[in-house]
Chains A and B, each alone.
Chain A
Amino acid sequence: MVIYRIPVALDKQKTPGIVAQIHATRLTLADVEGKSLPPVPDQAENDATVVGIDKNNNGIRDDVELAIFKKYPTDKKTRAAALQYALELQMEFTQVINSPTLVAVIQEEGRGGICVLDNKKTNEIKDLTFNTQIRKDTREDLFRKYMTSYSLPNENFCDIVF
């Protein structure tokens, strides 16, 4: 029983820190302005892993980031909301280890979703992010294992306010 308890205890120790990190993650103005846009990734390499490629280390997968810039080249406000939502979606692959961390990510996605405030647009960003079968399966698996009840935030929706 002790053996089984150890990973649980480790997870419990790590969880508050990860949850705090998830809730502290914010899009920056530099991200919105594309000051360090990544090069176009090799699609095969990008899709070889669930996490994909993030050369500029801003938490947004490069192919998704570039697609958003392409779709919203001039509309900064929409681009910011879309990038924020993409950043939050990507955390499903990088931060979720249990139910509290999944809930934290869902709550952040809730902020981004309201910042976008257009279900069609959010679904487009989801399609960009969960674009391969393994990514879709991984996502479903995470939700199946860790889903529970939670509440969504109802304030401070946008990281960048124009």
Chain B
Amino acid sequence: MKIFAILFFSLLPNIVFAACTQGGTTVVYINGIFTTSSEAATDLGELQSKYIEKTGDSKTKFINGYNPSHFEGLGDLVQSVFQTFFSSASDFDRDTILMQIYPEVKTRKLLLLGHSQGSFYSNGFYDYLLNHGEPKRSVGVYNVASPASYTAGGGLYLTAKQDTVITWVASMTKIVGGLPPLGPNTDLPLTIKQALETYPGHSFAGYYLQNSGSRIASDLQFALKRLTAELPLDNDGCFTPPENSLGRKTSTALFVVGDFYSDAIASAAVQDYKYAVATVGGVRVAIGAVGSVFSSVASAFVPAPRTTNLPRSHDIVGALYGSSVTEENLREFGLLEDQGGAVALAAQETPVQPGVESDMRDGVVLGAETESPATPSFVTPPQALGLPPMYSVGGGGSAGFGGGGSSGAAPAPAQDDPAPPPVTTESATTTATTTETATEVATSTATTTSTTLYEQLDASTLGETNDVQGTQANPTQKLGTGLSGLAGSVAYRLHGNDLASTTAGISAGFGDVLLYSCFSGSYIACGNPKASSDFHPQILSQSGDDAYILVDMTGSAYSFDPDQYYYLMWITAGDMALYGSAGDVYANGSAQWFDGAFAPDTNISDVAFRICNTAVCVLP
């Protein structure tokens, strides 16, 4: 009954008008994938605030062209496959947004600002408007963190090289042969807080506006000044809205139904996969109830195929946007059928009217399989290390921990050096002591054979780097390429003076260690972390100026791909003892520096590390 009620009311007439003036300017912001509704509102509010603050122009109108999420993001994933790899997508959301903003747009001069996935819509709006009679010089596009390969109308864009999502998109399109996004054109170092977000370097308000608000404001002002109002006052509105056809209305109803069921999934806090399947099955039942009506209008949001489904194409997008839903899941849900399902993987070619310029590009899709993180073959609880004396490290110097060494003593980084072949080490019998990670097995002992996958025992040739992630001011160690095996742990040995002897009372321990991979044959296209420390690393033992730390990452153990480049990165909550002197007095009076600023310290002079395939890594 509720479904029919939704359908009925969605089919009611919806007529609105808006006069269009030559004066004034309007900015329409379109949010991206997985931006929550409240974040979309925050984005627009902070955009307007920053724009007025920097330009003094309070007369420009700001509109939110809200780009909703469907099926708790599943629909967005599918659409993103279209958009990223096929350059075109369903027109459903585009038309919905256009109809919603139609009564609000009251100026001829219109600037479309897309963020992330919203860039596809800003580009799409531009084509739609030009196809429907708007003069080219009245409409502009400005995209931020754009995964698209162009900005419609030759508009400006802003993408930071720290944007992990766009970097990942670039890597993936390179592999599958799709059109890559526009290259990064700014360098905006991440704060610690930003680096710890789900998609570091990608948020609109939380990253781009915060780090580059002045530039965005001036780019907007520049783009707005380029626009001219060529058509006179029009009492029928500023553009021709999409037809609110029966098919479109029914599509609306179907999304409402689908989203309703998706809500049920979310609210049930799905733990049980079978329940999820059953619930999503409800979506299909509901859609099926519409019967032939659905079939007749399905093309409104299930576009006619220009190409067949690509194997693993969902996995690509899942990897892009961090979804844990697999292609198999979707197929079982019935959301991944070739044709006629709730949402099918195919792309629609946007018709372009003769005589109208378009910046749309056709994508060539070759298809490729993405990598999947390997399941750990076994998980061994971390054991305390019966650590031998500190390995003699040469070089000394003050290169620090990747944060900008001050002397030239350190040799060239190992970025272009192939990784050494795996080394099999002897069995290690260990006993737990007092670390946080070891408490669960405090009384047990285990004999574990661990294989070394990579090691850098001589600090004088430490593969640390200041480029790539160095812009994030986080210490990194380059690992090179040619690695293989399952990375389960990393042991670090640090040498320096005045190190802390404990992290007791500092809940964040020594932050986190992340393993990154890069795709472009170098360190310039690096994506999301592949593996990360299961617990905040703590000092396991200490002897004089040497401290030993074990990083257990079996929870996200990762299989190295010999073709990729890798690096390790530490992210800490600040200038903690690992990087600074234990005797440092912090301005906040605490044992921890909370302002997010990383301050490398020359107290750490040498670092050695080893990556192993188990939870236990022992340095010689």
Residues of B within 8 A of A151 (CB): 61-64, 101, 104
Q: CB within 8 A of A147: which of B8, B37, B61, B104?
A: B37
Q: State A114–B101 Cα separation when bound (angstroms).
A: 22
Q: State A154–B25 Cα separation when bound (angstroms).
A: 11
Q: State A5–B2 Cα separation when bound (angstroms).
A: 10
Closest chain-B Cβ to A61's Cβ sits at a distance in Å of 18
Q: Are A140 and B36 in contact (CB under 8 A)?
A: yes
> Mostly helix, strand, loop or mixed at chain A's interface?
helix
Q: List residues of B whose CB falls within 8 A of some A CB.
A: 1-2, 4-5, 8-9, 36-38, 40-41, 44-46, 48-50, 52-53, 58-66, 68, 97, 100-101, 104, 205, 209-210, 213
Given A114-B49, A154-B60, does the pair A140, B5 have CB atoms closer than 8 Å? Answer: no
Q: Are A157 and B58 in contact (CB under 8 A)?
A: yes
Given A8-B9, A114-B58, A150-B104, does the pair A143, B45 have CB atoms closer than 8 Å? Answer: no
**Proximity bits, A96-127, B CB within 8 Å = 1, else 0:** 00000000001001100110111100100000
* 18 A–B pairs (Cβ distance < 8 Å), ordered by A: A1-B1, A8-B9, A113-B49, A122-B49, A140-B37, A143-B41, A147-B38, A150-B63, A151-B63, A152-B45, A152-B48, A152-B62, A152-B64, A154-B48, A154-B58, A154-B59, A155-B58, A155-B59
Residues of A within 8 A of B209 (CB): 119
Can you add 5 more A-B contacts, CB < 8 Å, to A144-B36, A149-B64? A8-B9, A119-B205, A122-B49, A152-B64, A155-B59
Q: CB within 8 A of A154: which of B38, B62, B68?
A: B62
**Proximity bits, A129-152, B CB within 8 Å = 1, else 0:** 000000000011001100111111
Residues of A within 8 A of B36 (CB): 140, 143-144
Q: State A139–B209 Cα separation when bound (angstroms).
A: 23
Closest to B62 in A: A152
- Is A4 an interface position by the 8 A CB rule? yes
Closest chain-B Cβ to A3's Cβ sits at a distance in Å of 8
Complex interface residues of chain A between 1 and 57 (CB less than 8 A to chain B): 1, 4-5, 8
Closest to B97 in A: A149
Q: CB within 8 A of A113: which of B9, B48, B59?
A: B48
Q: Which of A4, A118, A119 has the most CB of B within 10 A?
A: A119
Closest chain-B Cβ to A67's Cβ sits at a distance in Å of 20
Q: CB within 8 A of B1: which of A4, A113, A148, A150?
A: A4
Closest to B9 in A: A8
Residues of A within 8 A of B100 (CB): 148-149
Q: State A82–B48 Cα separation when bound (angstroms).
A: 17
Q: Are B68 and A147 in contact (CB under 8 A)?
A: yes
Residues of B within 8 A of A119 (CB): 46, 49-50, 205, 209-210, 213
Q: Are B48 and A147 in contact (CB under 8 A)?
A: no
Closest to B59 in A: A154
Closest chain-B Cβ to A128's Cβ sits at a distance in Å of 15
Q: State A139–B42 Cα separation when bound (angstroms).
A: 12
Q: State A116–B45 Cα separation when bound (angstroms).
A: 11
Residues of B within 8 A of A109 (CB): 41, 45
Q: CB within 8 A of B45: which of A110, A118, A147, A154?
A: A110
Q: Are A149 and B104 in contact (CB under 8 A)?
A: yes
Residues of B within 8 A of A113 (CB): 45-46, 48-49
Q: Are B66 and A147 in contact (CB under 8 A)?
A: yes
Q: Are A149 and B58 in contact (CB under 8 A)?
A: no
Q: Are A143 and B38 in contact (CB under 8 A)?
A: yes
Q: State A149–B118 Cα separation when bound (angstroms).
A: 14
Q: State A144–B68 Cα separation when bound (angstroms).
A: 9
Closest chain-A Cβ to B259's Cβ sits at a distance in Å of 9
Residues of A within 8 A of B213 (CB): 119
Q: State A1–B5 Cα separation when bound (angstroms).
A: 6
Residues of A within 8 A of B61 (CB): 151-152, 154
Q: Which of B45, B53, B210 has the most CB of A within 10 A?
A: B45
Given A1-B1, A143-B36, does the pair A149, B65 have CB atoms closer than 8 Å? Answer: yes
Closest to B30 in A: A149
**4 A-B pairs closest in CB distance:** A149-B100, A147-B37, A143-B37, A4-B5
Closest chain-B Cβ to A2's Cβ sits at a distance in Å of 10
Q: State A122–B209 Cα separation when bound (angstroms).
A: 14
Closest to A157 in B: B58
Q: CB within 8 A of A117: which of B5, B44, B49?
A: B49
Q: State A115–B119 Cα separation when bound (angstroms).
A: 30
Closest to B1 in A: A4
Closest chain-A Cβ to B101's Cβ sits at a distance in Å of 5
Closest to B24 in A: A154
Q: State A157–B213 Cα separation when bound (angstroms).
A: 21
Q: State A21–B101 Cα separation when bound (angstroms).
A: 24
Q: Are A149 and B101 in contact (CB under 8 A)?
A: yes
Residues of A within 8 A of B38 (CB): 139-140, 143, 147
Residues of B within 8 A of A117 (CB): 49, 52-53
Q: State A151–B45 Cα separation when bound (angstroms).
A: 10
Closest chain-B Cβ to A106's Cβ sits at a distance in Å of 5
Q: Are B37 and A144 in contact (CB under 8 A)?
A: yes
Q: State A3–B305 Cα separation when bound (angstroms).
A: 41
Q: Are B37 and A4 in contact (CB under 8 A)?
A: no
Given A143-B41, A151-B63, A151-B104, does the pair A4, B2 have CB atoms closer than 8 Å? Answer: yes
Residues of B within 8 A of A116 (CB): 49
Q: Are A152 and B44 in contact (CB under 8 A)?
A: yes
